Amino acid sequence: MHTTKVRKLIALAAALPLVAVMAACGDNGGDNGGTTGDGDSTGGNKLTVWCWDPAFNLYAMEEAEKIYQKDHPDFELEIVETPWDDLQTKLITLAQSKQTSELPDIFLMQNNAFQKNVISYPELFTAFTDSGLDYGQYPPGIVAYSTIDGVNYGVPFDNGAAIDALRTDVLAEAGYTIDDFTGITWEEYITLGKDILAKTNHPIMSGEAGGADLPMMMLQSAGASLFDADGNPTIVGNEALLKSIDIFKQLVDSGVMVQVNSWDEYISSFVNGTVAGTINGSWIIGSITTAQDQSGNWDITDLPKLEGVSGATNFSANGGSSWAVSSNADVDLAMDFLKATFAGSTELYDIILPSSGAVANWLPAGDSAVYGEPQEFFGGDAIFAKIIDFVAKVPSNNTGVFYYEARDAVSDAITQILGGADVTTALQEAQDIVEFAMQ
């Protein structure tokens, strides 16, 4: 699972001076953006894995080990729980000290940090060029996170497809159903939200003050980015960003969206019934379902889209992660293991879905009967089949090396704009900050 706290730690870890980073990479000179896979951290039939979250990622790896052992009885995984912030720090330290022999065979990588790490530390990664893995079985927008210059470096795992989750009992009180929120624009969403607020006294959503999750989801829903194809910041004059900020301001000013001070307050706002819904990555389902007294009164649908913006859709993502194979790995074994499990086993996803809510990015998993089962908490709707459909439609966008620096700068600009600052001036300041960081 992913939280705003975790994502902010990415930015902290990524904030080391890039000059030092690139110097460390340049000295090692990985000519293929990674190694050819000559490393051997463990050898034999054992692999070492670094990942975080025992109930989600570690659990998934444990189940993948059992499945692989059916055809490889001597196979063994050593799974080391490594919080994301620690994992990112370890990667930076090992790259700069050139101690790549201390890398595990496989490690998990936040999707929005994947490109930054491969570009900055190519000597830590092995490309999947000769793996035989069929990337056509994944949504292009998800594959793009771990693809650099046309080369794949990861196996997509957990699904960050965004959902609009709503309290159907509150909607009904105001005379609406989930269908009224399906396939709509943000303008329509705000109109509906105002009416629901007036009739029920329930704002329809909440978000952390100073957070940029929602504007970034809006941006990606149009396949837009804070950078152009060459990696140059496009904060000033960015049509999709300007529209996203305008919609965000309307949400806050109208009272349709309530801003809170922390992640815990955000979760509490819909668990305790203060607000009637939330928009976030599908992993938020794990938090929603903790409110057992609300079972049967939730459902999900797609996101509103940006009206009048080129490429706009009703689909986006927030969060998600992918498995990477290190330059020190037993490459053949690591890639065969990943290909046979996370990129090849419907059984694996059938096992982990009910307990962890780990919705697959691997599209064939969506054909399983498990994904089509009605979920009592969500009014009997087969929500996991919906999410699989959503993820296939998420537009790709360019994250690049300085994604988190740009995201933080834009977040600060939005806070200023909500406080009355001039939009153009605030965004110019944000672009200046990013351009300075890029120097």
Architecture of domain 162-316+398-438: 3-Layer(aba) Sandwich (3.40)
Architecture of domain 4-160+321-370: 3-Layer(aba) Sandwich (3.40)
Domain map (residue ranges) of the chain: 4-160+321-370, 162-316+398-438
Mean pLDDT of the region 148-152: 94
Residues 6+ apart with CB under 8 A from 168: 177, 178, 297, 298, 299, 379
Mean pLDDT of the region 142-161: 91
| The predicted structure's pLDDT at residue 33 | 38
Mean pLDDT of the region 102-114: 94
| The predicted structure's pLDDT at residue 260 | 96
78-82, 210-214, 318-322: range with highest mean pLDDT? 78-82
Contact 259, 206 (CB under 8 A): yes
pLDDT at 281 over 80: yes
Closest of 370, 346, 361 to residue 394, by C-alpha: 361
| pTM of the predicted protein model | 0.78
Above pLDDT 70, what percent of the chain?
Answer: 90
| Residue 231 vs residue 413, higher pLDDT | 413
